[in-house]
Amino acid sequence: MPLSQPFSPQEGHAGSDFSQASEPFRRIAVEIGHVLVGQEALVHRMLIGLLTGGHLLIEGVPGLAKTTAVASLAKSISTQFQRLQFTPDLLPADLIGTQVYRPQDQSFVVQKGPIFSNLILADEINRAPAKVQSALLEAMQERQVTIGGETFPLEEPFLVMATQNPVEQEGTYPLPEAQMDRFLLKVIVDYPGRDEELLILRRMSKTAPKFEISGVTSPEEIMAARANVDEVFIDPKIEGYIVDLVMATRRPAAYGLSLEGLIQFGASPRASINLALAARANAFLDGRGYVMPEDVQNLALDVLRHRVMITYEAEAEERTSESIIREIMDHVAVP
């Protein structure tokens, strides 16, 4: 990658000790490790989502412990967890709740749905029809739902982790670009390695495997940590680097990239905001009070892969949004 002027964090921020503030999140990772084998990247991204309040879109074939990971996360922070299996016949009321008539006093009362929880696993989200996706969109973006004309705020921390199967597309409703853009990260979950799978076999090949996960933190500590993330320093050079990465997805020729005709839509300004926020959270988890270029590079692919729409010409050339983003990262100057 080309280098611009060297980056050096300010002394005051470099000397700040964020290690103690980020300790609860290291405890969470250790606790999840008692159940989950491997998948360190997924766990790390879930912690990023918790810290930033950003939602995750998790893509992977069935059987890769996506549900187990989210359930373990909820247990480790002693909070509420709901798994929602999305199907084509699902209704918005099944998600957010509805008004129920009480004949004894001839009135309607609100019966809240499963969305009123802290951690939501939306399993196979692309199998839900547009009305259900729209109801979820309001909850994700506004942190509130509307039932019968009355608005109800959702309790923080509120985090949606949605999964989709990349293999079977029959009977699915592709997520609209507006909803895709609401996800902070799109995480690709891959198969475990041989040693990891051997450990999974030894740990799970029992009729009733039992694992104990202790609550090592609380929702209050999570919310306090979010305030600390806002204090993480980000140098103007790093901010410029983030903006250049995003701008290069819209006008690649301005950055010396030969990608004409391959990108249909570039990333929105929300991508710049989310990349800066995720980089701050990454630095915080490392116990640093300042953002480094590596924080941006580690998360750029997850922030951008679902926001860069490629053309049919790109598909004909067997290019993917990931390969295009990697090419952009290789060309944009790193501070």
- Give me the pLDDT at residue 166, please: 72
| pTM, entire model | 0.86
């700040």: which residue's tokens? 16
Strands (E), 16-115: 55-59, 81-85, 97-102, 107-112
Pick among 1.20.1300.10, 3.40.640.10, 1.10.3720.10, 1.10.8.80: CATH of 11-16+232-331: 1.10.8.80
Q: What is the pLDDT of residue 11?
A: 42
pLDDT for the residue numbered 147: 82
Q: Please tell me the predicted confidence (pLDDT) of residue 15.
A: 40
Report which residue type is found at 166: P
The CATH number of 36-203 is which of 3.40.190.10, 3.40.50.2000, 3.40.50.300, 3.30.530.20? 3.40.50.300
What three-state secondary structure class fits 64? coil
Q: What element of type H or E holds 157?
A: none
pLDDT of residue 167: 64
Record the tokens describing residue 171, joined without a space.
């009977």
Amino acid, single-letter form, for residue 283: A
Q: Can you say how many angstroms the Cα of residue 161 is from the centroid of all Cα atoms in its chain?
A: 7
Calpha distance 81→72 (Å, rounded): 10
Q: Report the amino acid identity of residue 204.
A: M
Range(s) of the chain covered by CATH 3.40.50.300:
36-203
**Token pair belonging to 163:** 């999964």
CA-to-CA distance for 219 and 222, rounded, in angstroms? 5
- Check if the beta carbon of residue 318 is closer than 8 Å to that of residue 277: no
pLDDT of 170 reads 61
Q: What is the pLDDT of residue 236?
A: 94
Find, among 201, 282, 186, 173, the residue nearest to 234 by Cα. Answer: 282
Pull the structure tokens for residue 209: 């495997």
Location of each CATH 1.10.8.80 domain in the chain? 11-16+232-331
pLDDT tens per residue across all 335 residues of the chain: 554 445 555 544 444 477 778 888 888 888 888 888 877 888 899 999 989 988 999 888 777 777 788 888 888 887 888 888 888 888 888 888 887 878 888 777 878 888 888 888 888 888 888 888 888 887 888 888 888 778 888 888 888 888 887 765 666 667 777 778 889 999 988 888 888 888 888 877 777 766 677 777 888 888 888 888 888 999 999 999 999 999 999 999 888 888 888 888 889 999 999 999 999 999 999 988 899 999 999 999 999 999 998 889 988 888 889 999 999 999 998 88
Task: Dig out the tokens for 323 from the structure.
Answer: 């390969």
**What local confidence, expressed as pLDDT, does residue 7 receive?**
54
Q: What is the predicted pLDDT for the residue at 178? A: 76
Q: Which amino acid is at 185?
A: L
Output the pLDDT for position 171.
Answer: 60
Strand spans (E) along the chain = 55-59, 81-85, 97-102, 107-112, 119-123, 144-147, 150-153, 159-164, 183-188, 263-265, 309-310
Contact 73, 119 (CB under 8 A): yes
Supply 38's token pair. Answer: 């491997």
